[in-house]
Amino acid sequence: MEQIISAGLAELGLMGRIPADAPTRLARYGQLLLEKNQVMNLTAIRDPEGVARLHMLDCAALLKFCDFEHKTLLDVGTGAGFPGMVLNLLTPSLKVTLLDSLNKRLDWLSAVSEELDGAQTVSTAHGRAEEWALKKSYRDSFDLVTARAVADLRILCELCLPFVKAGGQFLAMKSTGSGQELTAAAHAIKLLGGRVSAVEDYTIPDTEITHRVILIEKIAPTLKGYPRRWVKIQKEPL
């Protein structure tokens, strides 16, 4: 796994920008993921090569499009820690908060970050995004917010943009077929204080898989009243 990760990071042009031991630590993270996946449903990808390429390198590609050094990042719906944990291992100065509704996943991620010496810059938050976004200490507070989810972009924007401070960015990891989704989300993005700053496609190294990251700049604080309750968000997307 380490060899695949190292070669992929080199292909992405990242080797001069990351710690020398990053491939080793990412490979260990992948091993821990596969071990825990035997007793906890963390990922549908069950082979080391798939984990290396479709998780580690897919997330690492974000470094091509954004500066993560000395920033604060909230990873909404982090699941098994993607992309938040990967970005922290590649950029140790990045302070990451992993938000998820399942506490046992967060307990595992805390143990992993401690083993990989990331405990000082990785924290967890247990609960739902639409509830945490109403907390003063979280709202309009983060330089960067990420989401790697299958939810519609209109829903992701309502859940994620309230966390981003003015001048910060929301990075939505989507498929390359998300063009219509992006068009449909234009109203939500504007209403929530955002503006699309870039749409970047990238190919995962040594695969034919191309993914997309949509970068949305926060240009104004999100209006009070957003995010709405989950039932409302789901039934009536902005």
Distance, in Å, from the CA atom of 57 to the CA atom of 80, rounded to the nearest integer, reads 15
pLDDT tens digit sequence for 57-74 = 999 999 999 999 999 999
Q: What is the pLDDT of residue 214?
A: 98
Q: What is the pLDDT of residue 95?
A: 97
Q: What is the pLDDT of residue 120?
A: 85
pLDDT tens digit sequence for 106-131 = 999 999 999 998 778 999 999 999 99
Burial string for 55-73 (b: 16+ CB within 10 Å, else e) reads bbbbbbbbbeebebeebbb
pLDDT tens digit sequence for 10-58 = 999 999 999 999 999 999 999 999 999 999 999 999 999 999 999 999 9
What phi, psi does 130 have (nearest 5°)? -65, -20
41 CB neighbour count, 10 Å cutoff: 11
Q: What is the pLDDT of residue 162?
A: 98
Architecture of domain 67-235: 3-Layer(aba) Sandwich (3.40)
Q: What is the pLDDT of residue 165?
A: 97
Q: How confident is the model at residue 236 (pLDDT cuts 50, 70, 90)?
A: very high
Distance, in Å, from the CA atom of 48 to the CA atom of 118, rounded to the nearest integer, reads 22
pLDDT tens digit sequence for 187-198 = 999 999 999 999
Q: What is the pLDDT of residue 204?
A: 97
Q: At 216, is the secondary structure helix, strand, or coil? A: strand
Helices (H), 72-178: 84-90, 103-115, 129-132, 153-160
pLDDT at 216 over 80: yes
71: number of CA atoms within 13 Å, CB side? 23
- The one-letter amino acid code at 135 reads K
pLDDT at 150 over 90: no
Q: How far is the CA of 105 from the CAs of 74, 82, 212, 232, in angstroms?
A: 16, 12, 26, 27
